[in-house]
Structure 1
């Protein structure tokens, strides 16, 4: 069974265009430092799951692409790098706290902005739109996934 996810990236760190320029349009999703988001990766994500690539902390936040989970869960190396903004001195190589998956971009889309998402009644109960929701990774219900793809003009198979 395929699961679906919304994964937020700050375009100043890893925009959809940056990822498209990478080999195989694939990036290791580093820097997740919230336990619930980490647990979604660890316990819920599977190879091939669908991903809504979302730009956050920018002028026009929104869904900018469709991607897929392209690897199993591995250790996020940035937690051990003192030069990284994601360094975690309490995390040890023999007991790492933070994980990552590789994400492969499949389609760049127009920006389906946060205000457009909020105005769409079919998405009203989407987790990312709930008041106070700030997680960088959230599950997406199959009906929301299908609706968003239709809205963006991507054929749903």
Structure 2
């Protein structure tokens, strides 16, 4: 139960052994998605530098999404299950609470980015690219979090 991809059956390929390279592949895909999200947002900030074209407060969604990425991936699956974590302030309950707060921050950022897209750009019929950049940044960070959290095995460093 290390990840949700354990039960997926892919066609067998003799040239690549994915069992040993799963952590590497998940880390690379998550990193590319995370980088692409920030790259899109930086591109929008450069293309629309004025406050009237793109409100600078809209960058807050990406910052909170990034913080949530680190919060979620700071807790291992074993800590949430209680297999490897028994001490600390709250033990397993604290790990679950930390993970819950991280996911709430992530979902909140994703919902806020949709609200920014439609409320500030689509409905007023303004240029839509800055709103799409905010949304895609948060969506890509969200998917990179899921891939990194659930697409790799527990013994990443071992």
TM-score (norm 2): 0.21
Q: Which has the higher helix share?
A: 2
Bigger relative contact order (CA 8 A; separation at least 6)? 2
Q: Which has the higher strand share?
A: 1
Bigger radius of gyration among the two? 2
